[in-house]
Amino acid sequence: MTVEIGVEEIEDIALGATVLGTGGGGDPHVGKLVAKQAIEEFGPVELVHPDELSDDAFVVPTAQMGAPTVSVEKLPSGQEAVDSLERIERELDQEVDATMPIECGGINSTFPFAVAARRGLPVVDADGMGRAFPELHHETFNIYGVSGTPAAVSDERGNTCLIETEDNEQLEWLARGVTVRMGGVAYVSDYPMTGTQVKDTAIPGTMTLARNLGRELRVAEDDAMDAIRDVTRSSIYGEAQSLFEGKIVDVQRRTEHGFVFGHVDVDGLGRDEGSSMRIEFQNENLGAQVDGEYVATVPDLITVLDRETGGPIPTESLRYGARVRVLGIKTPEIMRTPAALDVWGPHSFGLETTYKPLEG
Which of 62, 160, 282, 289 is the binder for a copy of itself (CB under 8 A)? Answer: 160
Minimum Å gap between C-beta 126 and a copy of itself is 28
Q: Which residues within the stretch 18-77 sit at the binding site for a copy of itself (CB under 8 A)?
A: none
Q: Which residues within the stretch 272-311 sit at the binding site for a copy of itself (CB under 8 A)?
A: none
Strands 185-189 vs 284-290: parallel, antiparallel or unpaired: unpaired
> Would you say 170 or 235 has its CB closer to a copy of itself?
170
Which of 165, 194, 235, 242 is the binder for a copy of itself (CB under 8 A)? Answer: 165
Minimum Å gap between C-beta 343 and a copy of itself is 20
Q: Which residues of 262-277 are buried (b: 16+ CB within 10 A; e: fewer)?
A: bbbbbbbbeebeeebb
Q: Calculate the CA 63 to chain-centre distance.
A: 10
Interacting span for a copy of itself (CB under 8 A) from 152-160, 261-269, 294-302, 342-350 = 152-160
Minimum Å gap between C-beta 183 and a copy of itself is 10
> Would you say 158 or 274 has its CB closer to a copy of itself?
158
Compute how many other C-beta atoms are within 10 angstroms of the C-beta atom of residue 338: 8
Minimum Å gap between C-beta 336 and a copy of itself is 31
What does the alpha-carbon distance between residue 331 and residue 298 come to, in Å, rounded to a whole number? 9
> Would you say 145 or 177 has its CB closer to a copy of itself?
177
Size of the chain in residues: 360
What does the alpha-carbon distance between residue 75 and residue 206 come to, in Å, rounded to a whole number? 25
DSSP state, residue 22: T
Backbone dihedral angles phi then psi of residue 193, each to the nearest 5 degrees: -140, 155
| 170 to 209: interface string for a copy of itself, x by CB under 8 A | x--xx-xxx-xxx---------------------------
Q: Rule CB under 8 A: say whether 163 interacts with a copy of itself.
A: yes
Q: Which residues within the stretch 245-264 sit at the binding site for a copy of itself (CB under 8 A)?
A: none
> Would you say 144 or 173 has its CB closer to a copy of itself?
173
Q: Rule CB under 8 A: say whether 79 interacts with a copy of itself.
A: no
* Residues 101 and 127: beta-carbon distance below 8 Å: yes
Our CA dihedral for 190, 191, 193, 197, rounded to 10 degrees, sits at -150
Q: Calculate the CA 244 to chain-centre distance.
A: 23
Q: Rule CB under 8 A: say whether 161 interacts with a copy of itself.
A: yes
Does the CA dihedral 313-318-321-327 come out positive or negative? Answer: positive
> Which parts of this chain interact with a copy of itself (CB under 8 A)?
87, 157-167, 170, 173-174, 176-178, 180-182
